[in-house]
Structure 1
Amino acid sequence: MKQTQIEYDLSTLPSSLLAYLDGATIYDSSSSAQAKTLFIDGAQRLFLKIAAAHTLEREYRMNAFLHKHELAPLSLVYTTYGEQDYLLTVAVSGDDGIAESFLQQPERLATALGQHLRKLHSLPLHGCPYRERSSEILLEASPSVQIELQTDTRYQPVDKTIIHGDYCLPNVMMNDFELCGFIDNGDGGIGDRHYDLAWGLWSLQFNLETDRYHDYFLNGYGRDDVDPNGIVYFRQIIDSLDF
């Protein structure tokens, strides 16, 4: 995880955050144009995400749900101040899935990625704040892909699983391949398992620059619950996204 030490003007922040940042060393850990992420190294190890107003509530609520199952960071503050949202969370222990120590063991990494996804997908649905994610996900696709998938009879999504919604290696925190938790949970909810499976395969291809380890991932997850048509369905959506 990239971290660059910076000076930050604390006077620009809402007062509810200041006590947490007092005397801390601040690092820019941003990885997205949509949000600034600061690593706060002080009395506690924290992350502060800053984005457009009313865009971080979903992440705050999904964090709360997943934290009850010990799979996401504890949120300390969520607030809207001016035109921006602020979400302060306790740092999850471990390293993200693109740490060099993990990438050097690709078979073990791919297997762990599948196993950890199975753990997420095994959670009970009760209390999850967002439902029917597949219909929302379809609307994110390009218009041509939306039309194609709406008339495709080979696969119909089934929303009966807790999904991450952006299941990529950087969002899985591990210690010696053991799961510590998931981060960037704002796209999660009750959806179709194959969306996460398609993202996991995409991430392995992107980060390892080969599809050689796809079978390790699917075997780690458990092939009995994998429908190849579901992966094809959601891969079309992923490939149409602008990122």
Structure 2
Amino acid sequence: MSLRPPLAFIPAETGTIPASVSRMAGDQDSEAVWINQAGGTTYRIGAGTATDRYLKYAPRGTADPDFAAEALRLRWASEHARVPEVIQVGSDESGSWLLTAALPGESAVSGTWMKRPELAARALGAGLRKLHESLPVQDCPFEWSVGERLRAFEQRIAAGEGPENWSGDCVHLGIGEARELLSNPPLPLDLVVCHGDACAPNTLLDGHGNFYAHVDLGELGVADRWADLAVAAWSTAWNYGSGYEDHVYAGYGIEPDATRIGYYRMLWDLS
């Protein structure tokens, strides 16, 4: 499938700090470290201090993230895997937020690992395997199923979106053809607890380039493991350039499955 642009990026400068962010930062420094396409911003507060933490903030009127649902997923996953500790979830008249404690790992898209993409891509796969093996699928109360994601596709169609709004290899599809393809996932399903957004920016590495932790688990839930794998490998092309996807599969310890990769990338794009 074709490449697609990343949906989030590191800002060149912090810009104006919202009042609610400044209030939570108090007398500590805060800086914007990540901006997503929907208008949300992640701030780092108190970098290098004992109270180093991250605040995901969504202004009122932007896409409405369910930070309470993400907090539930983080708290559940924290019993089995290394993920950020939830400090606070809240909202006011200006927006909503999720405050978590910082972890000592470094993002796989930091300057350090952008220079060593093979190592980072392999760690991305190894970390995803560890997550899938650590989270108990039988006990997971959350889902990220095809059926649930197809409802999101239908919501996009109902809102007036169509092929002209789609990207990559999906632009040539009609709505009916896309619906038919999405309604027939490859079987049998190989169910695990998926991250839901297992891209390179959401993977933290230690100082040696080994997997350390995952962040941003707002979509965590039971799904076919390829729903994570296909997009995790794809994200290396968005962040590092072409040629690194096989390192993700090698790190995970699995051979690429072209059928499942194609299906779950299409599902990602259209839902």
What TM-score do you get using the length of structure 1 for normalisation? 0.83
Residue 31 (str. 1) matches residue 42 (str. 2)? no
- What secondary structure, in the 3-state scheme, does the structure 1 residue paired with 2:36 have? coil
- State the distance in 1 between where 2:261 and 2:211 align: 24
How far does the alpha carbon of each residue in 1:154-199 deviate from its partner, in whole angstroms, 9 at most, with x for none?
Answer: 7147372111111111100111222221111101111111111111
Q: Which residue of 2 aligns with 1:230?
A: 260
Check conservation: 1:3, 1:28, Cα contact below 8 A: no
Query: 2:180 maps to what in 1?
Result: 147
Tell me the percent identity. Answer: 26
Report the residue type matching 2:268 in the other structure.
Answer: I
Equivalent of residue 51 in structure 2, options 44, 69, 84: 44
Distance 1:217 1:62, change over 3 A: same
Q: Does 2:110 correspond to 1:99?
A: yes
2:270 and 2:16 map into 1 onto residues whose CA distance is 38
List gaps (5 residues or longer) in structure 2.
1-9, 158-174
TM-score normalised per structure 2: 0.75
Distance 1:111 1:39, change over 3 A: same
> In the alignment, residue 237 of structure 1 is paired with which amino acid?
L
Q: CA RMSD in A?
A: 2.7
One-letter amino acid of the counterpart of residue 228, structure 1: A
Distance 1:231 1:50, change over 3 A: same
Alpha-carbon separation, structure 1, partners of 2:97 and 2:188 = 33
Letter in 1 for 2:55: L
CA contact (8 A) 1:157 1:230 kept: no
Equivalent residue number for residue 61 of structure 1: 72
Contact 1:96 1:172 in 2 (8 A): yes
Aligned length: 232
- Give the structure 2 partner of residue 158 of structure 1: 189
Q: Using the alignment, how far apart are the partners of 1:94 and 1:184 within structure 2?
A: 14
Which stretch has the larger CA shift, 29-38 or 171-180?
29-38
Q: 2:230 touches 2:265 (CA, 8 Å); kept in 1?
A: yes
Q: 1:239 offset after TM fit, Å?
A: 3.6
Q: Tell me, which stretches of 5 or more residues in structure 1 are unaligned?
A: none
The C-alpha deviation readout for 1:125-168, integer Å capped at 9, x for no partner, is 25433125322223334653233222x4x714737211111111
**Among candidates 21, 25, 41, match of residue 21 of structure 1:** 25
